């Protein structure tokens, strides 16, 4: 079985700074990490590898420097990593990104399962997974929080969708997006980190992907949506009334406020 | 290629009940269509007992009703994608809106990619650009830290829109419109099969007018009883921060936050919740927020309209008994 995990390198959201005046995200203000949800996707793939045997390939699209994310993926259990990178890929929206990743996957050849995180913490769209599935013409299941069973031909999962919890079975090949609840990603062991440093990360650009990728479908040119403006809204701050002592009065006063504001009825 | 015209809403249903986000989308679609002097279309997949006229009463000019009593009873996304894509491709609306419900977020990308069109996720604002009559789609990104204004270069301009972001369209049962019944397309040898539904409780916390939530300040799962009692007294629902769900104190359906439910109730009572950014993302737009926490430096106080610095184990029972007294 061959499993592909989609990985994105994102800024560390705890540290990244936003310039309100200029309306820009200062990506240089913070280090990078693997998108947290993608760690769950990778862990799901590695667990299947441990249980029934599989080759796990981590694939990412990004600048050359994103190879460090793929090395980390290898240290966390992927067998190899592939970076899709080309200056012409810059500025890709969801559609162009999904199209390019799908081309990378076609270039890999045969596969059985693809895992992706439910969303990234930077783009936040949660759409790339399902679009990759459509471009590859394979089925997909989103919001998977548990893998019930997997064999060479199918996977059975528990998914949180439609205001409910459903058990779905999918014939392979197929794509799955996972939530944080599916597992707790392991930390890489020191020796795995060291050996991942030496791993060779092939970089695939337009020239290598030419059989599956039309230049007009990728990068800015191939993007269907364009960001016209970015606003950095002020952090929400409410001038709250604070009761610090005499809690008895606090509760009385708040009950009156609820009644005044008609959020509480006195029958 | 024909001319693209009209604003189409994909209306979601489950168990023959139309999801309320559909009415919110219709309200917005009507506003956009009126600016463009175009029609509002609606596409819905569902069984034959849908209250289909409801869509017309809310402002739709023409409904494409893909009717089938068997295949739309589960959230099997491939079948929906095929049917919805087919309608959009046939009608060619200029704008197409989906609810950003869990199902909508799984379905819409599939449809957009199949149409080779763009899709803007999770919009919180939609406007027509007066200069070129194109749709400006406003959405939060970077974990809600920025608002991006996005325009589509391709047609149809497609977006998913958050539930509870826009007001529901008003109902007018004298309105008239057209309903076209469309025969559903089934997929042969479907790769996905829904084996069973194991939903424990159907709770739509996003619909609650009042949410009383607990966080790490709550010591045991038993103690949720007092949170429940307060919620019940106020006619609200119980919410929770992520750690308590992870601890198994309460089911995921109650989780509020970035990776849980986003709620916008009239009143949100945060009990023993410190207010991490991930939690705030799910509740900061509530009309009124009361925070109860023994730590005066807890970030939740920065976004609360009212704060009580104190022990939830003292304050909540007090509040419960005082509310009971008021009503006695």
Residues A210-266 have pLDDT tens digits of 999 999 999 999 999 999 999 998 877 887 899 998 999 999 999 999 999 999 888
Q: Domain check: are B102 and B34 in the same one?
A: yes
pLDDT the model gives residue A97: 98
CATH number, domain of B269, equals 3.40.50.1220
The answer to whether residue B112 is domain-embedded is: yes
Q: What is the rounded distance in angstroms from the CA atom of residue A211 to the CA atom of residue A218?
A: 14
| A230/B146 Cβ within 8 A | yes
pLDDT the model gives residue B210: 97
Q: Identify the domain containing residue B274 by its residue range.
A: 205-327
DSSP B197-245: E--S----GGG-SEEEEE-TT---GGGHHHHHHHHHHTT-EEEE-HHHH
The answer to whether residue B200 is domain-embedded is: no
Domain boundary among the residues B149, B183, B217 is at B183
Q: How far is B302 from chain A (nearest CA, A)?
A: 6
| Beta strand segments in chain B, E | 7-11, 13-14, 17-18, 40-46, 62-67, 95-99, 120-123, 125-128, 135-141, 146-152, 157-161, 178-183, 192-197, 210-214, 237-240, 267-271, 288-293, 306-309
| A18/B146 Cβ within 8 A | yes
CATH number, domain of B160, equals 3.40.50.620
Q: Identify the domain containing residue A103 by its residue range.
A: 2-217
Residues B99-136 have pLDDT tens digits of 999 999 999 999 999 999 999 999 999 999 999 999 99
Average pLDDT, chain B: 96
Name the residue facing A161 among B103, B150, B307 (closest C-beta): B103
Question: Hey, how many other C-beta atoms are within 10 angstroms of the C-beta on B65?
Answer: 20
The answer to whether residue B2 is domain-embedded is: no
Question: Hey, how many other C-beta atoms are within 10 angstroms of the C-beta on A220?
Answer: 14
pLDDT the model gives residue B136: 98
Report how many Cβ contacts below 8 Å link chain A to chain B. 264
Q: How far is B285 from chain A (nearest CA, A)?
A: 9
The answer to whether residue A266 is domain-embedded is: no
Residues B232-280 have pLDDT tens digits of 999 999 999 999 999 999 998 899 998 889 999 999 999 999 999 999 9
Q: B242: buried, middle or exposed (CB in 10 Å: 19+, 13-18, 0-12)?
A: buried
Q: Is A98 on the interface with B (CB under 8 A)?
A: yes
* CA angle in degrees (0–180, nearest 5) for B164-B150-A94: 95
pLDDT the model gives residue B204: 79
No. of helices (H) and no. of strands (E), chain A: 6, 15
Q: Domain check: are B209 and B106 in the same one?
A: no
Q: Domain check: are B176 and B213 in the same one?
A: no
Number of structural domains, chain A?
1
Q: Domain check: are B161 and B231 in the same one?
A: no
State the residue for tokens 């990776």: B259
Which A residues in the span 195-224 are in contact with B, Cβ-Cβ below 8 Å? 223-224
Per the structure block, which two tokens stand in for A124?
Answer: 């936040």
Question: Hey, how many other C-beta atoms are within 10 angstroms of the C-beta on B6?
Answer: 20
**Which spans in A19-153 are helix H?**
36-52, 67-75, 94-108, 128-136
Radius of gyration in angstroms for the set of CA atoms belonging to chain A, rounded to a whole number: 23
CA dist A152 → A44, A112, A115, B62, B190 (Å) = 16, 8, 15, 46, 18
Splitting chain A (267 residues) into consecutive groups of 10 residues, what average pLDDT does each group show?
98 88 85 97 98 98 97 98 97 97 98 97 95 98 98 97 95 97 95 95 98 96 95 83 92 95 85
Report the residue of B113, B208, B325 to disrupt the A interface, i.e. the one with the largest count of A CBs within 10 Å: B113
pLDDT the model gives residue B9: 98
Name the residue facing B150 among A167, A226, A240 (closest C-beta): A226
- Yes or no: say if A93 and A125 are a contact pair by the CB < 8 Å rule: no
Domain boundary among the residues B183, B216, B239 is at B183
Report the residue of A10, A226, A238 to disrupt the B interface, i.e. the one with the largest count of B CBs within 10 Å: A238
Q: Domain check: are B49 and B142 in the same one?
A: yes
The answer to whether residue A150 is domain-embedded is: yes
Greatest pairwise CA separation for chain B in angstroms:
69
CA dist A35 → A20, A116, A166, A183, B286 (Å) = 24, 10, 26, 15, 28
Cis preceding linkage at B253, omega within 30: no
Angle between helices A247-260 and B312-327 (to 10 degrees): 50
Contacting residues of A for B152, CB less than 8 Å apart: 224-226
Q: Domain check: are B176 and B249 in the same one?
A: no
CATH number, domain of A163, equals 3.40.50.620
The answer to whether residue B190 is domain-embedded is: no
Per the structure block, which two tokens stand in for B311?
Answer: 């022990």
Q: Is A161 on the interface with B (CB under 8 A)?
A: yes
Say which DSSP state A8 is in: -
Q: Domain check: are B167 and B101 in the same one?
A: yes
Q: Domain check: are B220 and B120 in the same one?
A: no
Q: Domain check: are B117 and B225 in the same one?
A: no
**Which spans in B94-185 are helix H?**
102-114
pLDDT the model gives residue B303: 95
pLDDT band (50, 70, 90) for residue B2: low
Taking CA–CA distances from A224, the nearest residue in chain B reads B118
Residue B1 has pLDDT above 50, yes or no: no
- Yes or no: say if B126 and B32 are a contact pair by the CB < 8 Å rule: yes
Q: What is the rounded distance in angstroms from the CA atom of residue B29 to the CA atom of residue B23?
A: 10
Q: What is the rounded distance in angstroms from the CA atom of residue A190 to the CA atom of residue A200?
A: 18
The answer to whether residue A233 is domain-embedded is: no
Number of structural domains, chain B?
2
CA end-to-end distance (rounded Å), chain B = 69
Question: Hey, how many other C-beta atoms are within 10 angstroms of the C-beta on B158?
Answer: 29
Q: Is the dihedral of CA B113, B114, B116, B119 positive or negative?
A: negative
Phi first, then psi: what are they for A131, rounded to 5°?
-70, -35
Q: How far is B67 from chain A (nearest CA, A)?
A: 19
Q: What is the rounded distance in angstroms from the CA atom of residue A114 to the CA atom of residue A106?
A: 12
Taking CA–CA distances from B72, the nearest residue in chain A reads A162
- Residue A127 CB contacts under 8 Å (≥ 6 apart), including other chains: A94, A98, B105, B108, B109, B112, B119, B121
Q: How far is A209 from chain B (nearest CA, A)?
A: 20
């Amino acid at each position: 079985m061959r499993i592909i995990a989609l990985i994105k390198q994102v800024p560390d959201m705890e540290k990244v700074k936003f310039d309100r005046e200029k309306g820009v995200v200062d990506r240089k203000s913070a280090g990078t990490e693997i998108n947290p949800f993608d760690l769950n996707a990778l862990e799901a793939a590695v667990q299947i590898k441990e249980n029934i045997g599989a080759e796990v390939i981590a694939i990412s699209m990004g600048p050359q420097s994103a190879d460090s994310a793929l090395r980390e993926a290898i240290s966390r259990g992927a067998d190899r990593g592939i970076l899709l990178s080309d200056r012409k890929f810059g500025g890709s929206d969801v559609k162009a990104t999904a199209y390019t990743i799908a081309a990378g996957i076609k270039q890999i050849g045969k596969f059985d399962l693809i895992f992706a995180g439910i969303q990234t913490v930077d783009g936040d769209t949660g759409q790339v997974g399902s679009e990759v599935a459509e471009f590859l013409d394979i089925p997909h299941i989103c919001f998977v929080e548990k893998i019930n069973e997997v064999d060479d031909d199918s996977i059975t999962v528990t998914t949180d969708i439609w205001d409910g919890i459903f058990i779905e079975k999918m014939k392979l090949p197929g794509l799955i997006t996972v939530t944080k609840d599916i597992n707790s990603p392991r930390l890489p062991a020191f020796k795995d980190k060291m050996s991942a440093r030496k791993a060779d990360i092939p970089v695939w650009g337009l020239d290598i992907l030419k059989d599956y990728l039309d230049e007009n479908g990728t990068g800015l040119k191939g993007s269907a949506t364009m960001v016209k403006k970015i606003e950095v809204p002020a952090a929400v701050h409410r001038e709250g009334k604070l009761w610090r002592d005499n809690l008895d009065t606090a509760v009385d006063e708040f009950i009156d406020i609820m009644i005044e504001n008609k959020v509480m009825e006195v029958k | 290629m024909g001319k693209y015209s009209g604003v189409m809403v994909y209306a979601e249903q489950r168990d023959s009940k139309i999801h309320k986000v559909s009415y919110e989308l219709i309200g917005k679609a009507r506003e956009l269509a009126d600016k463009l002097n175009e029609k509002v279309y609606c596409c819905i997949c569902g069984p034959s007992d849908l209250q289909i006229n409801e869509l017309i009463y809310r402002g739709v000019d023409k409904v494409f009703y893909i009717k089938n009593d068997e295949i739309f009873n589960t959230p099997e996304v491939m079948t929906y994608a095929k049917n919805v894509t087919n309608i959009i491709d046939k009608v060619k609306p200029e704008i197409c809106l989906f609810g950003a419900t869990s199902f909508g977020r799984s379905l819409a990308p599939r449809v957009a990619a199949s149409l080779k069109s763009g899709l803007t996720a999770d919009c919180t604002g939609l406007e027509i650009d007066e200069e070129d009559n194109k749709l400006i789609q406003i959405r939060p990104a970077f974990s809600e830290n920025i608002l991006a204004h996005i325009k589509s270069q391709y047609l149809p301009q497609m977006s998913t829109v958050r539930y509870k972001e826009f007001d529901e369209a008003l109902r007018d049962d004298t309105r008239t419109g057209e309903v076209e019944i469309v025969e559903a397309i089934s997929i042969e040898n479907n790769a996905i099969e829904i084996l069973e539904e194991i939903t424990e409780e159907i709770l739509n916390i996003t619909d609650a007018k009042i949410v009383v939530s607990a966080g790490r300040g709550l010591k045991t799962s038993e103690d949720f009883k007092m949170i429940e009692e307060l919620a019940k007294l106020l006619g609200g629902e119980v919410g929770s921060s992520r750690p308590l769900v992870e601890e198994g104190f309460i089911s995921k359906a109650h989780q509020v936050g970035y990776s849980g439910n986003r709620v916008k109730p009239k009143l949100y009572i945060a009990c023993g919740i410190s207010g991490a950014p991930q939690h705030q993302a799910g509740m900061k737009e509530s009309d009124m927020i009361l925070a109860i926490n023994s730590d005066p430096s807890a970030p939740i106080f920065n976004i609360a309209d009212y704060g009580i610095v104190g022990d939830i184990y003292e304050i909540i029972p007090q509040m419960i008994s005082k509310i009971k007294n008021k009503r006695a």
